[in-house]
Amino acid sequence: MTITYIGLSCFLVENEQGFRILVDPFNDDPEWILGPRFPKEFRGEPLGANIVLMSEPDADHAYAPGDWLAYAPKTKPNSNPFPDLNLRGRVVYEWNGDLNIAYSYTIDGVRCTHLADNAHVLTQEQVVDIGSPDILFISPAKAKLDGKEDSVTVENISLLKPKIVIWAHHLAPKDLPESDDSQVLREYFTEYFKANASTNKGYKGDSSFLELCYVLENAMILNRKYGGVEIKTPELKVTPELLTEGGTNPKGVLFKVMLAS
């Protein structure tokens, strides 16, 4: 299985046969754009996907042009491109109570769960329904924690007991500063978001969208807690060795490069 980080909460997951699941593609129309342009191509060909999952109808989680299926790897009736997929969705909640769907699915025998914009400690019922995934895609808190530990995310990781934790819902532009200093990152993203201020209807001033910077800050702190690695390429090959690298503890993975530009 190969995982490609597109940006924000969007990941392209491919099985060994090359069939693709795209999760949470984002809308880059001028009125919604946060900075990155959604890629039109993938490995030199028009981007396509066999299955597209959207966790909520917000612009940063929902987008679908009409040609993705046409450009997807070809399938035939009853060809079973995703054996034992076992696709399931579970309702979870954003900070304000808005509904999200946390999708779980199995690719090449590896169980994955994408927790979307969930912002609360999972209930026992939710935990039982989701189970214990091998790979958990999870967004750290959007709050400015200033170095404090994100207790909700830590608790949810403890409840689900994944082998790999992949941090989601941040941005990793090509010129992202190497610094872990929060002030450096906040100054960078203030200018980054300002570049689209004339068209994005949600832009209200220098503090607009800085919660995405806080997600990255919180992800870096959590990644160190879980003995994580920082990936300087948008692609990650999931191997048996990677799945067992953390032993009995989850292993963090933070993408510092995204495919979107």
User: Residue 214 CA to chain centroid, in angstroms?
Assistant: 15
- At residue 88, the pLDDT reads 98
Name the nearest CA neighbour of 126 among 134, 135, 115.
115
- At residue 201, the pLDDT reads 87
Tokens of 82: 């995703």
C-alpha distance from residue 130 to each of 105, 115, 134, 233 (Å): 10, 10, 11, 29
Residue ranges of the chain with per-residue pLDDT less than 50: none
Topology of domain 2-255 in CATH is: Metallo-beta-lactamase; Chain A (3.60.15)
Q: What angle do CA 17, 109, 118 make, to 5 degrees?
A: 105
- At residue 249, the pLDDT reads 94
Q: What angle do CA 31, 99, 124 make, to 5 degrees?
A: 145
- At residue 198, the pLDDT reads 83
What one-character-per-residue DSSP string does 142-154 give? Answer: -S--TT---HHHH
How confident is the model over 77-129, as pLDDT tens digits?
999 999 999 999 999 999 999 999 999 999 999 999 999 999 999 999 999 99
